[in-house]
Chains A and B, each alone.
Chain A
Amino acid sequence: MKYIDEFRDGDLARGIAGAIAAEADASRRYNLMEFCGGHTHAISRYGLADLLPSNVNMIHGPGCPVCVLPIGRIDNAIELAARPGLILCTYADTMRVPASKGLSLLKAKARGADIRMVYSSTDAVRIAREHPDREVVFFAIGFETTTPPTAVAILQAEAEGLANFSVFCNHVLTPAAISNILESKEVRELGTVPLDGFIGPAHVSTVIGSQPYEYFAEEYGRPVVIAGFEPLDVMQAILMLVRQLNDGRAEVENEFTRAVTRDGNAKAKGLVAEVFELRRTFEWRGLGEVPYSALKIKERYRAFDAETRYAIEYVSVRDNKACECGAILRGVKKPVDCKVFGTVCTPENPIGSCMVSSEGACAAHYTYGRFKDTAIVAAPAEVEA
């Protein structure tokens, strides 16, 4: 696959790993947060930690829209799906997230709710078109990458006069989350989470551009390198961060130049601005209330807003007491620090969202990395193919 396979070349990886090892200053630690869940997934799936020197420490950030979606919002989605005749369309990622009363969207579907997994918002619009007699709600989640497709869906529904279509909007914003982490007590005062730099999200940045991160570099003095999704991109970004920190620089650099520009995608941003506006505050699972961090549908398009159409009441649900997802999402703790990790809380039986989403820190570590926590008998010599 073009532009995918070349960015997964093992030989090039070893070259970059060599450069990181050579240039990393042995007398200090480099604490780097990869904000985006996709980067967490890549690091785990390709075993990138194996290629880094021990003084480079990767901290997993909260850039996983499923992980930060509060239980209460999933409860709302389940309530919507339970309405007689209503079709709830959702991305498959949300299906297994545990909600209140032992339910999830998957379990609600098993009990008869008409919940349909879709790949694209256009599928939800098509379902609304094909079933004019049914109410159709699209459960919209995601960061800035996924928001423009929802905007297009609403505009299309309006153009076609699909009065039975609406959107339950849970879109959230990246820069607000980064601020929240940098402003958190642990980072700012206590210093318990030493955060030296960020790997910026890949595809969010194709939409918003590299410009929004300049604020963080200036205001907080932390370098940001925007990295593509493939493992070589991540390795290169780590090298660039190491170099910035060595040089004492705090700039925004772009490793993902093949898809990201400083200004991003003006057309997409324009469509989002047409349909959505900022919520004054929004609850993020693990981070609490974060101001100006999420979007709601503008007055002009309120006919397509499921929250007003169905008078949805949001009730905040506290996490299971043993669950450390909040601390893990903020980079304060690691999965193995959680008492229920791997015992009660597993991908089969997820207590919190970090385990449900395959790019959550806990699921990624459990699936790809936990064997490192246990002593394994040494493997015999290489396999002969």
Chain B
Amino acid sequence: MCLAIPARVVALTQPDTAQVDVGGVQMKVSLALVDDVHVGDFVIVHVGYALTKLDPAEAERTLATFAEAGLTAGAPA
């Protein structure tokens, strides 16, 4: 229900705000809900706020799980 998308932090601006980038489009978001954010991190953005950091290692692991599921599948779909 809550539209949120992963965005890359390109700059930390005034206290508690960051400039983020999604596919070349940039926006200012509030960092009031997260700590310890650095340039290059990915955050999940919802209504102009970063909700949490995205964990790239976990993302890779999840993608690998998808691929695994396909390999171990028995009969075709």
Residues A267 and B34 in contact in the complex (CB < 8 Å), given A16-B66, A65-B1, A229-B4: yes
The verdict on A143 contacting chain B, using a C-beta distance below 8 Å, is: yes
User: Nearest-CB distance from B70 to chain A (Å)?
Assistant: 2
User: Nearest-CB distance from B14 to chain A (Å)?
Assistant: 12
Q: Determine if A148 and B70 form an interchain contact, defined as CB atoms under 8 angstroms apart.
A: no
Q: Determine if B52 and A149 form an interchain contact, defined as CB atoms under 8 angstroms apart.
A: no
Complex Cα spacing A219 to B49, Å: 34
> Which residues of the other chain, B, contact A122 by a CB distance below 8 angstroms?
30, 48
> Which residues of the other chain, A, contact B33 by a CB distance below 8 angstroms?
148-149, 152, 265, 267-268, 271
Q: Which of B6, B35, B47, B73 contacts A3 (CB 8 A)?
A: B6
Interface residues of A in 1-41 (CB under 8 A from B): 1-4, 6-7, 9, 11-12, 14-23, 36-38
Complex Cα spacing A91 to B48, Å: 12
Q: Determine if B49 and A51 form an interchain contact, defined as CB atoms under 8 angstroms apart.
A: no
User: Nearest-CB distance from B45 to chain A (Å)?
Assistant: 10
Residues A12 and B55 in contact in the complex (CB < 8 Å), given A2-B6, A22-B74: no
Complex Cα spacing A127 to B66, Å: 45
> Which residues of the other chain, A, contact B65 by a CB distance below 8 angstroms?
236
User: Nearest-CB distance from B17 to chain A (Å)?
Assistant: 9
Choose, from A70-78, A201-209, A293-301, A317-325, the stretch at the interface: A201-209
Q: Which of A3, A17, A359 has the most CB of B within 10 A?
A: A3
Q: Determine if A268 and B51 form an interchain contact, defined as CB atoms under 8 angstroms apart.
A: yes
Complex Cα spacing A268 to B2, Å: 16
Residues A21 and B66 in contact in the complex (CB < 8 Å), given A3-B59, A37-B1, A145-B46: no
Q: Determine if A146 and B46 form an interchain contact, defined as CB atoms under 8 angstroms apart.
A: yes
The verdict on A64 contacting chain B, using a C-beta distance below 8 Å, is: yes
> Which residues of the other chain, A, contact B48 by a CB distance below 8 angstroms?
119-123, 149
Q: Determine if A38 and B75 form an interchain contact, defined as CB atoms under 8 angstroms apart.
A: no
Q: Determine if B44 and A236 form an interchain contact, defined as CB atoms under 8 angstroms apart.
A: no
Q: Determine if A258 and B67 form an interchain contact, defined as CB atoms under 8 angstroms apart.
A: no
Q: Which of A3, A4, A51, A236 contacts B69 (CB 8 A)?
A: A236
User: Nearest-CB distance from B48 to chain A (Å)?
Assistant: 3
Q: Determine if A19 and B72 form an interchain contact, defined as CB atoms under 8 angstroms apart.
A: yes
Residues A4 and B59 in contact in the complex (CB < 8 Å), given A119-B47, A258-B54: no
User: Nearest-CB distance from B34 to chain A (Å)?
Assistant: 7
Across the interface, name the chain B residue whose C-beta is closest to A36: B1
The verdict on A142 contacting chain B, using a C-beta distance below 8 Å, is: yes
> Which residues of the other chain, A, contact B69 by a CB distance below 8 angstroms?
15-16, 19, 236, 239
User: Nearest-CB distance from A19 to chain B (Å)?
Assistant: 4
Question: Assuming A38-B1, A121-B48, A255-B62, what are 15 further A-B pairs, CB within 8 angstroms?
Answer: A3-B59, A23-B74, A36-B1, A36-B2, A91-B47, A120-B49, A145-B1, A148-B49, A149-B48, A152-B49, A203-B1, A229-B4, A239-B69, A258-B54, A259-B54
Q: A-B pairs with the 4 shortest C-beta distances?
A: A15-B70, A120-B48, A18-B73, A22-B74
- List B residues at the A interface (Cβ < 8 Å): 1-6, 8, 22-23, 30, 32-35, 42, 44, 46-49, 51-52, 54-56, 58-59, 61-63, 65-67, 69-77
- List A residues at the B interface (Cβ < 8 Å): 1-4, 6-7, 9, 11-12, 14-23, 36-38, 51, 63-65, 91, 119-123, 142-143, 145-146, 148-149, 152, 201-204, 206-207, 228-229, 232-233, 235-236, 239, 255-259, 265, 267-268, 271, 359
